[in-house]
Structure formats: C-alpha cells, structure tokens
Chain A
Amino acid sequence: MTVLAHGVGSRTDLPIPIGFALYGAGAAILASFAVLLLFWRSPHLGGPDAGRPLPAGLQRLLDSSGVRRGLQAVALLIAAFVVTAALAGPEETSRNLGPWVLFVTFWVGLVPVSLLLGPVWRVVNPLRLLHRLLRPLGPDAPGAAQLPALGLWPAAGALTVFVWLELVHPDRTEPVTVAVFLLGYAAVQLACAQWFGEGWFARGDGFEAYSTLIARLSPWGRRSDGRLVLRNPLANALATPSRPGLSALVMVLLGSTAFDGLTRTVWWQTGPGSANDWFSGTVGLLLSIALVSGLYVLGTRLSGRLAGQEQGVQPARYAATVIPIALGYTVAHYFSLLMLDGQTTWILISNPFGTDGVDLFGTYGNRVDLTAVSADVIALVQVGAIITGHVVGVILAHERALLSARRARASDQLPLVLVMVVFTLGGLGLLFGF
C-alpha cells in the first residue's frame, strides 16, 4: 500500500474553491494592515505573570508525582500494546492498528488535545517513567551541563526524523516500520536522557516539544512563580521562553506541513515528485523547511534592521509569533485525516490482532464513513485555520515588536508581516493546488 501524503489515509482533500482562496488571501492582507495601523500602540496582552491562578488543591493534584507516574504508566501500557499490535497484528496496513494510531490518532490528535488541555505529553510521556526506572543502571547524567546550550535543537532534529518517516519513507505505512520506529525512537531518547538527565525530554523528545509548543496557544500557563494559571492564549504564546532552536522547531513544523500539502498537488505528483521515491521526497522535504526558514530569517532580520535593533537576535525573538501560522497549516492539512480516516483506529481497536470472531466493542464490522464531514465544511475549516493562524501571528508579532521597543514604528514590522503574508498565501495556494 502506498500513499502520497501524510503517512496513512485513503483520501486527500479536494482543492479549495478559487473563491475561498481569493477571499482568504484578501482577508489575510487586510487583517495584516489593520493590525499594524489600527491596533494598540503599547504592549497590551499581559506578561508572563498574567493569568488567573487555579485553586491550590487542584494544582497540587495536577503536579503530584503520583498522578504523573500513574498517567505515564497508562501511556506506557498503551504504547506497548500498540507496538505489539503492529508486530503481531494483521500484516495489511488497512487492518493493522499501529500505523493509524501513530500517524493519525497520536500525531494529529496531539494537536487538539494540547490546544485544549495544555502540554499533556509532558505530563503523560511514558519515556519519562521508563527513564526513572532505568536511570540507576547507568551513568548519572554526565552531560547535564550542556543541555541549556542545546536548547530545542535536539527536538527539532527528532521531529525532522519523524516527519521524514511520515512523509517520505517508502515503507512508512507498513506496521513493522511503525513498530521499529517506535522502539528505536524510545531507545535513542532513553540513551540521551541517561546522558543528559531528565531535562532532556523537554528539549530532545520531539513529541513532547511539539505538544508543549501547541500548548503555548492553549489557555493553560505557568506563572514565573510556578503557579498554574488560566490566561489569554495570546499572552501565553508571548511568554514562551526563548531558547536556542525554538525557531528551528517551528520552521520544521511549518516546512514539513507545507511539503505535505505540496505532495498532494498535481504539480508535484506529475512533476518533481513523479518518481514518488525517497530521493525526491527527502530533497523536497528539506528544501521546504529551508525555504520557510530562509524567508523567516530574512523577514525578522529586515524588521530588526529597520528598527535599528541587533539583527542576530531577531529570529529567536519572534519565533513564538509563527506558532499560530504553523498551527493553522497543521489544522488545514490534517483536520480531515483525523475526522475521516481517524475512524479506522476505533474500528480496529475492536480486534487489534485480527483474530477470527473477536469484536470487543462491536465496531469491527463498521466501515469508515468518508462523507461524515462534507467537502464544504472541510474547505471552510482549512481556509479558516490558515487565516486565523495568520491574524493571530500578526497580532503576536505586533505585540512582540512593541515589547522590544516601546516606540516601535508600524513600518518597521512590515518585512516580517510580509513574510507572514507569503506563508499564508503559500498555504492557501497549496490548498488550492496551484
């Protein structure tokens, strides 16, 4: 079974209607200038200490190590079960739980869950539990001192490996590939955590970093004094700690999602990607990431130059403002996969090992209903996500500019805003299929 786009799936989305693409583009450009010219002229959204604290009792419960270990143990059992099902279940991808859980339910599902509930994968990450169990067996974190300098670069690397598997690897849909990847990923992560200490997971585990990044747009935050707070997601996003590699992480997400969209276009399928092999895929994926990174660095540095600020710090300074754009791309490209092909997980869970006559939850005989969400709704969600991401991104960049210089001129922000417009028009173009 081969599929062109995003790991698994039986369908891809229709090109959005030309009217949607044009109205969306117009709305994005208009909104950008409205934000620059009409919005507030001094910082407005609240700093890292904003927010309404949760009751102390609730915080104690959520932060208690017992609750976390329990949740991690449950996640570990589920992960072990999925790997076992991938190896011992039916060999056909369409009947094996493994690829659907990894590429749809987990990878795509992590986005809405993190957006609603906060950095959940940090709380339930089963690798953290395994690390605690294995830690006494090896050296005690001799590399811990190097971790802060590495920042989020290891996570950006880990996610690049995963998106390469998801979008390029020729056998990505094979259950065995999924099992080998999960086991290999766990082994590498645990080895790194042994060397660098438990702090590794926040910086080197791609899935945890991804969940935490998306959670920056959730209402759940942590004040600098450690209190859990509910606050404006925009303030939450701006409070993202600046770490080396943060912008790289966002660019990997943006570039890989753009590449996923690109592989669905007729232009790619009959042109550069017609061989449908690992070479064209690898080059295409890396070029996509390089292209969005180049544009982003150019836009932020030019903005910094106009404002008379040091240019080298600009890409890191504005990294959090691109998270909503990357999230918009993600929703636009994966919404239908989760809603339609995502049903497969709940069908296969009734009989994970393909045993005759087994139907645990009475769903095994169901068929995926590919008409459950209409094409119009999908197109609306796609364009809505791209435009919302754009508007939020421009607002965040505006506030960030005001925070960095009280009297920041609107015109100084123009290069970055133009790059955001390019990302958005590019995203709409990919949905339209060129």
Chain B
Amino acid sequence: MTARPVRLPRAVAASAVALVLPLAACAGTDEPRPSAASSSSSSTSSSSTSSSTSSSAAGAGAASSSPGQGSLRAELDVVAGPVEQAGRISVRVGESVTLVLNSTIDDELHVHGYDLTADLRAGQTTELTFDATIPGVFEIELHDAGTVLLTLQVS
C-alpha cells in the first residue's frame, strides 16, 4: 500500500488524522481520545480561518499514511500574516512524521524539542521527515515570523 497524499479541506483532513492513529497504534488504549478531541477542535478553528478572506492563515492540511508502518504526513500552506493556531497533530512514539509545507514566504521552520529546522522559500514546497522518538507536546513554529504553525503531540 503506497502513501497517497491528498489535499483535502482542513476539516476532512483533521478527521483523517484522527482516523490514522488507531491504525498506526495497534495496541491503542484510551490514549487516542484526547488526540481525536484536539483534531476536531483544530478543524473548527481553521475552517473559520479559511472562510475569512484576509491572508492570515496556515491553511489546509492533508494526511495519509501507510497503515501498519506508523507514519503521518501533514500538508500545510504557509502564508504571510498573523497565523492563527492551526491546532495539534498527534502521533505515537516511533512513528515517522512528514511535514509538507507549501510556502508563499521565506522563513525558517523550527520543530522544538527535536530541534529541527527547514528553510522555506516563497513559491516552493519543502518536506521535512523525522522519527517522533521523544514523547511530549512540541511547537512547530516559523522562526522569522515568530508564530506557531502547529503543535505536535507524541505519545
């Protein structure tokens, strides 16, 4: 089964993220509950973002995975302006995370805790893949703009 990245409206994407988790974590206990709750609340906030025409958003995301391998692929638009909190993505410890960033601005992406950075160039798509080996909740932010794009929950 190959990874099939699809761009979806954010609300759909968020539920896809939530769906992926039980597959990725076969021994799922009561853990996914908070993550499902967080995904749905994030979808509400960013659907209101996309409905406003001002350019203040880190917009649509999409997720797909290869079940069993434990991986998450999240796609984000990065545009200028104040970023509203784009919510939280949840993965299990040991999963592979791929961030796909379609940027309209130059900036530097920083994944806290893992201390990873990626240069974003206006008009280009940047991919950042890493293994989620450290448990906790981490911010993924734009260094120059000083804004938080996402929080990543590794549990």
Residues of A participating in the B interface, judged by any CB pair closer than 8 Å: 1-4, 10-15, 17-19, 264, 266-267, 269-271, 273-276, 367, 370-371, 374-375, 432-434
Known: A13-B137, A266-B88, A370-B113. A19 touches B148 (CB 8 A): no
Task: Check B41 for interface membership: any CB of A closer than 8 A.
Answer: yes
Known: A2-B148, A276-B148. A14 touches B139 (CB 8 A): no
Known: A19-B30, A266-B88, A375-B136. 10 other contacts (CB 8 A): A2-B139, A10-B113, A11-B112, A11-B113, A11-B134, A11-B137, A15-B155, A266-B87, A269-B87, A371-B134
Residues of B participating in the A interface, judged by any CB pair closer than 8 Å: 29-31, 33-34, 37-38, 41-42, 44-45, 82, 84-85, 87-88, 112-113, 115, 133-139, 141, 143, 146-148, 151, 153-155
CB of A21 to closest CB in B, whole Å:
10
Q: How far is the CA of A270 from the CA of B138 in the complex (A)?
A: 15
Q: How far is the CA of A19 from the CA of B30 in the complex (A)?
A: 8
Asked if A371 contacts B141 (CB within 8 A), the reply is: no
CB of B153 to closest CB in A, whole Å:
7
**Chain B minimum-CB-distance residue to A92:** B143
CB of A11 to closest CB in B, whole Å:
4
Closest 10 CB pairs of A and B: A11-B136, A266-B38, A270-B45, A375-B135, A11-B113, A274-B85, A10-B113, A12-B137, A10-B112, A15-B34
Q: How far is the CA of A145 from the CA of B133 in the complex (A)?
A: 60
Q: How many A-B residue pairs have CB under 8 A?
A: 88
Interfacial chain A residues near B85, Cβ < 8 Å: 269-270, 273-274, 276
Q: How far is the CA of A19 from the CA of B12 in the complex (A)?
A: 30
Asked if A370 contacts B136 (CB within 8 A), the reply is: yes
Q: List 6 A-B contacts (CB under 8 A).
A: A3-B139, A11-B134, A14-B136, A270-B44, A270-B45, A275-B84
**Chain A minimum-CB-distance residue to B43:** A270
Asked if B135 contacts A14 (CB within 8 A), the reply is: yes
From B42, B45, B139, B146, contact of A4 by CB (8 A): B139
Asked if B88 contacts A4 (CB within 8 A), the reply is: no
Interfacial chain A residues near B82, Cβ < 8 Å: 275
Asked if A274 contacts B30 (CB within 8 A), the reply is: no
From A2, A12, A18, A367, contact of B136 by CB (8 A): A12
Interfacial chain A residues near B151, Cβ < 8 Å: 266, 269
Q: How far is the CA of A273 from the CA of B151 in the complex (A)?
A: 14
Interfacial chain B residues near A433, Cβ < 8 Å: 34, 38
Interfacial chain A residues near B148, Cβ < 8 Å: 2, 4, 276
